[in-house]
Amino acid sequence: MLRPQGSSARQWRRMNQRRHGIVEGQPAIRAGYHMWRKILQFFDRVIVKFFDRVIVKFYNRVIVKFYDRLIVRFFNRLVPYDPEAKVAKAIALLKSKNVAENINTLLNRYFANAGGIDIKRDAACSVELITALGAKEIAESITYTFNQKVIQFLVADMRGSYTPDDSTNYGNLFVLFNGECVLHNDLMFHDKGYKHYGVNFSTSSLKSLKVSIWIDDLRYLVKALTDLEMRARDKQRAESISRTASNIDFGKQRHG
């Protein structure tokens, strides 16, 4: 198409751009849009990572610890110290978590190593450890190693009953979590044709307690070992039934 007379080259170029749907400056607008989009994406990544790695960690490591160590302690000091209430609270916590039942299960059930849980019995204890615990003699030791954690039960200083006809022995139970004593409580041992340890929490039996994740780990150990034992038992039963079925022959039976 020829350029109309009287129109400049610039006017002619604009007219052709409008005919073909081209807006002047459109490439520059698109380039600017993509540039700002990349800038926003960059800031989004940087800010999210900064918030996640710096702000959250700072909050967890500094703010939470500050609240726990200073503010909670400050308000605890305002409340009159009540030893009996503190012991009662500890016993209530232990009972709510079924700690006695879980300990009795891990002491009395003879579980086998399974599912990444390693169990050692009657491992030697150092003199330094016995002295640190305030014990005189370790009668039995059971150690559970799992998930890079170690829970050890130490039965110490067992003594007979003062009643002649009573077959119950009494002693101390120490629970160690990763080498640290987290529980010290009285322990009973019954021997009436079968041996059975018994732990019960009361204001007179509880000697010391440090609450941490080990309380929930006891429940994990009992559930994991019990489930593994049941699976092994079911598998053994199925294999036994399968062998028996393969040895059964009904022969040729007459009908009618």
pLDDT in tens, 6-29: 556 666 566 665 555 544 555 555
Higher pLDDT, 11 or 225: 225
pLDDT band at 223 (very low <50, low <70, confident <90, very high): very high
Whole-number percent of the chain with pLDDT over 70: 68
pTM of the entire predicted model: 0.64
User: Is 193 found in the same domain as 147?
Assistant: yes
List beta partners, residue 176: 152, 181
- Domain extent, residue 233, equals 98-239
Over its C-alpha atoms, the chain yields an Rg (Å, rounded) of 37
Look at residue 45 and tell me if it is in a domain.
yes
User: Is 104 found in the same domain as 200?
Assistant: yes
pLDDT band at 168 (very low <50, low <70, confident <90, very high): confident
List beta partners, residue 76: none
pLDDT band at 110 (very low <50, low <70, confident <90, very high): confident
Task: State the sign of the Cα–Cα–Cα–Cα dihedral 69, 74, 79, 82.
Answer: positive
Per-residue confidence (pLDDT) for residue 62, from 0 to 100: 66
User: Is 26 found in the same domain as 139?
Assistant: no
Distance (Å, whole) CA 117 – CA 105: 15
pLDDT band at 58 (very low <50, low <70, confident <90, very high): low
Per-residue confidence (pLDDT) for residue 229, from 0 to 100: 86
HSE (CB half, 13 Å, CA atoms) of 22?
10
> How much is the average pLDDT of 158-163?
74
Look at residue 195 and tell me if it is in a domain.
yes
Distance (Å, whole) CA 30 – CA 15: 21
Per-residue confidence (pLDDT) for residue 39, from 0 to 100: 76
User: Is 166 found in the same domain as 112?
Assistant: yes
Look at residue 109 and tell me if it is in a domain.
yes
Distance (Å, whole) CA 255 – CA 247: 23
Look at residue 256 and tell me if it is in a domain.
no
User: Is 153 found in the same domain as 52?
Assistant: no
Q: Which of 23, 52, 79 is the last residue of a domain?
A: 79
